[in-house]
């Protein structure tokens, strides 16, 4: 039995299938449903947040690049942006239009849906 780290077996399963340059999506609660992608829905009211999911995944996943919507910067206050910058520190983050970000979703290994309400908090992690 796992006692620490990522305890969710479905998220562990997704991570074990990610290979070089594969992607994994961490999404907020309003992100569209993609029937062709395995989705692990862990939303419960407003928790967990995207960053709550990012932190343990990042500890177990070699991230090469992160893709986020450029609208994130315009939609969120400085404090929220700083929290994301801190969590993503040292990673290459590419901001692009939200419509372009969603085009990156179909080939992803999977999608983890959170209960986050931060606007445009979605991110796509690309393995190194």
Examine the pLDDT at 112 and tell me if it is beyond 70.
Answer: yes
CATH code (residue 68):
3.40.1650.10
pLDDT at 95 over 70: yes
| Over residues 78-96, mean pLDDT | 97
Inside any domain, residue 28 = yes
pTM of the model: 0.94
- At residue 60, the pLDDT reads 84
Of 23, 44, 20, give the one whose Cα is nearest residue 102.
Answer: 23
- pLDDT band of residue 117 (cuts 50, 70, 90) is very high
State yes or no: is 20 an active-site residue.
yes
Q: How many other β-carbons are positioned within 10 Å of the β-carbon of residue 63?
A: 19
Query: Is 59 contained in some domain?
Result: yes
pLDDT at 5 over 90: no
Q: Give the range of the structural domain holding residue 101, as residue numbers without chain letter.
A: 19-127
Mean pLDDT score of the chain: 95
Q: CA neighbours within 13 Å on the CB side: how many for 42?
A: 19
Angle of helix 50-59 relative to helix 78-87, nearest 10 degrees, comes to 20
**Helix (H) / strand (E) containing 9:** helix 9-17
76: in domain: yes
Number of domain units in the chain: 1
At 1 the pLDDT is 65
Q: What is the pLDDT of residue 128?
A: 92
Q: Each residue of 11-65: pLDDT tens digit?
A: 999 999 999 999 999 999 999 998 999 999 999 999 999 999 999 999 888 999 9
């Amino acid at each position: 039995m796992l006692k620490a780290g990522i305890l969710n077996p479905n998220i562990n399963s997704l991570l074990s299938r990610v290979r070089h340059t594969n992607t994994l999506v961490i999404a907020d609660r309003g992100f569209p449903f993609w029937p062709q992608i395995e989705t692990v829905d862990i939303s419960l009211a407003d928790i967990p947040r995207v960053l709550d999911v990012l932190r343990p995944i990042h500890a177990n996943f070699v991230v090469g690049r992160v893709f986020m919507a450029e609208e994130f910067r315009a939609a969120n206050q400085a404090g929220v942006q700083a929290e994301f910058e801190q969590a993503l520190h040292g990673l290459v983050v590419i901001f692009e239009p939200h419509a372009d970000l969603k085009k990156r979703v179909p080939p992803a290994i999977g999608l983890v849906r959170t209960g986050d309400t931060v606007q445009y908090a979605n991110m796509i992690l690309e393995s190194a």
